[in-house]
Chain A
Amino acid sequence: MAPVSLVSLGKAFGSIEAVRDIDLEIADNEFVVLVGPSGCGKSTTLRMIAGLETISRGELRIGETVVNHLSPGERDIAMVFQNYALYPHMNVAQNIAFGLRHRNLSRAEIKAAVLDAARLLDIEALLDRRPKALSGGQRQRVAMGRAIVRRPKVFLFDEPLSNLDAKLRAQMRIEIKRLHQRVPTTTIFVTHDQVEAMTMADRVVVMNNGVIEQVGTPLDVYNKPATRFVAEFIGSPSMNFFDGTLEAQGEDLVFRIGNGRALPVPRARGSAYSKHFGKRLTLGLRPEALSVSDASDFTIEVETKVVEPLGVETIVYFDLAGHPASVRAAPNRAPRAGETVPLSFDMTFMHLIDPEDGSVIPY
């Protein structure tokens, strides 16, 4: 229950800069997800906030206090680890109560607090068990109970769901969200899974190579990615990319892709893109901006490679002008693999990316 600010935060392991220039203001009770590929520095950032890793550069504040040099215990934070880190020789109740020892609470008060947390997480029946005797999901709840019982200023989660199977993971996602609603607390959640990020976050922080690529609401980063990296990392299947050039065709702009076909650029983008006229650029289109149909006045014929029926929809993979690409199709209208089909393009969802620096050209 406190805002957290990271100001030019950086971490070096010897000569390797694992994380640098992290600027982030997290509001009170906000649920922020750090997402990015493995090794991008999420855990390092989180562990600097926890106090488990020293801070090489910058300043970290929790509430009004600069905590750079406070020990983890003094920061009033709680953390859930990827492997849960439950104390194996203590039962569930003792695990949950461990963090309360320095609170000057009576036995009865501790018991009540433990019971409260257990009830919240629906693990009352497990209080006497040792961690070894719990399932993965149950351990996960105990780890959360241990965090929640202390009512800390900040919750930190480091990939807490990655050891669970898919179904349990989806379920725990919802539970963590619900918990956050019932016990509003500033939460920083680390994951490499963009679905988790999108579904859980108030704001998503996309990281890559030790720096922040973009910060925004889930829909922001989905609809208006700031960089090619974000565009590609967020969303599944991934955005389609086609190299080509921006050209004029009479009054209008077109994007000419590798095989010579020109795709019409919406008029509304004209002024935003005019500076980039004639440049080699990359066109980004999400699979849902394409459709298998000849309804529009502009279509391209492609040969389908792989067809993935997902039930609610079917993903169709194909190559276009040397680029692997995909399109979402309604299950009943999906082609078979190897078929040649017409594709329609909805260019109102287009993104243009400068291949030089990977930035998405704003419009």
Chain B
Amino acid sequence: MPKPIAQALSRRTATTPEASSIPYWAWLLPVMLVIGAFYIYPIIDALRLAFTDATLTGGAESYTVRSLQRVLSNPALPTILSNTAIFTAASVVGQQLLGLSVALLVVRGERHHLPGMLVLRTIVLAAWVVPGIANGVIWSMLFSESPFGAINGVLRLLELPTVAWLSNPANAMLSAIIANVWQGTAFSMIVLYAALKSVDPSLYEAAAVDGAPAWERFWFITLPQLKAAILVNSILITIQTLNTFDAILALTGGGPGRATEVLSLFAYNTVFYQFDLAGGSALSILLLLISLVLAALYMLFMPKRDM
């Protein structure tokens, strides 16, 4: 909101008598109801289910901590968690770097009135609207190690050695990250593009006059100015990536072995293969907790309001 409008609004609410007679939370009631019905209730229900022995195959539920114990003592959990950490961290870093690069490219291109910037933006955005499963299918064709696999086919044409993109466990994780970053870059790009566009251009001019070369202007002006956007973006990408399993499901199914099985996929499998509703709920609560803790961590770095 432009500052004058915000000021005008705050002045209004402060002085309009009928506004002050209604309790402040009344305005939030509709939103709270919607959030309560569609977000809080399912979370509470999942929390409740985590303390039962509920299965999809029915039977009477009873309350127990056994499901929780079972999930937490699963010998696969450390592997799953470290997969999740690697996948998420690499995706966040990758999407930020790539998103920022594309955004900088587009902003520079626009400043120099280069043609095709809208096209570039649209192409990148197109990746974003591709559903996760389709993304997985597309990349599984690209990474295919069959004689007609796309990327290996190109490598063969160039007489380079081919790569075991998906059959080698370490590479499979890398491939999953690449697929996820490819899809998520557009989102980062849009967020960072908007943030870049709102940086006051005279700051760059002031820095130029102050003798700062291009990389210093990036380091001392662009990055600090993007800090809030990057942090918010990190929160969104982290949560989004933690919850991603459809692309992995279509790309590797979590394999080979457990090489690419992340927490959300593990929870999905627990519910839909094992029909273990309680265990799946416990895992999704774990996922929620991880998201919350990470989001809180990011918030610690959030610039104060006097930015």
Contacts and interface: CB of A to CB of B under 8 A. Distances in A.
Interface stretch (B174-182, B220-228, B248-256): B220-228
B61 interface: no
A79 B205 CA distance: 9
Contacts of A99: 209-211
Contact of A73 (B208, B221, B303): B208
B209 A98 contact: no
B213 to A, nearest CB: 7
B interface, by DSSP: helix, strand, loop or mixed? helix
B120 to A, nearest CB: 23
Interface stretch (A55-63, A85-93, A215-223, A225-233): A85-93
A86 B220 CA distance: 12
Contacts of B221: 87
B184 to A, nearest CB: 27
Contacts of A89: 224-225, 227, 303, 307
A73 B210 contact: yes
A98 B216 CA distance: 11
B208 to A, nearest CB: 4
A20 interface: no
Nearest to A87: B203
A311 to B, nearest CB: 32
Given A83-B202, A98-B220, A146 B210 contact: yes
Contacts of A72: 205, 208-209, 211
B43 interface: no
Contacts of A85: 200, 202-203, 205-206
A73 B307 contact: no
B212 interface: yes
A52 B205 contact: yes
Interface string A267-301: 00000000000000000000000000000000000
B102 to A, nearest CB: 24
B207 interface: yes
Contacts of B216: 101
A50 B209 contact: yes
A93 to B, nearest CB: 14
A9 B211 CA distance: 24
Contact of B225 (A71, A77, A79, A88): A88
Contacts of B224: 87, 89
A79 B307 contact: no
A78 B220 contact: no
B45 interface: no
Given A52-B205, A85-B205, A88-B307, A73 B211 contact: yes
A246 to B, nearest CB: 51
Give the one of B205, B208, B213, B306 with max A CB within 10 A.
Answer: B205
Nearest to B214: A71
Contacts of A133: 306
A81 interface: yes
Interface in B78-137: none
B306 to A, nearest CB: 4
A98 B202 contact: no
Given A83-B202, A85-B200, A89-B307, A102 B211 contact: yes
Contacts of B208: 51-52, 71-73
13 contacts: A51-B208, A72-B209, A72-B211, A74-B211, A77-B209, A78-B209, A85-B200, A87-B207, A88-B225, A89-B303, A89-B307, A132-B306, A146-B210
Given A52-B205, A79-B205, 11 more contacts: A52-B208, A72-B211, A73-B210, A74-B211, A77-B209, A87-B203, A87-B206, A87-B220, A89-B225, A89-B307, A132-B306
Q: Which 8 A-B pairs have the closest CB atoms?
A: A73-B211, A99-B210, A85-B202, A85-B206, A89-B224, A132-B306, A72-B208, A72-B209
Interface of B: 200, 202-203, 205-213, 216, 220-221, 224-225, 227, 303, 306-307
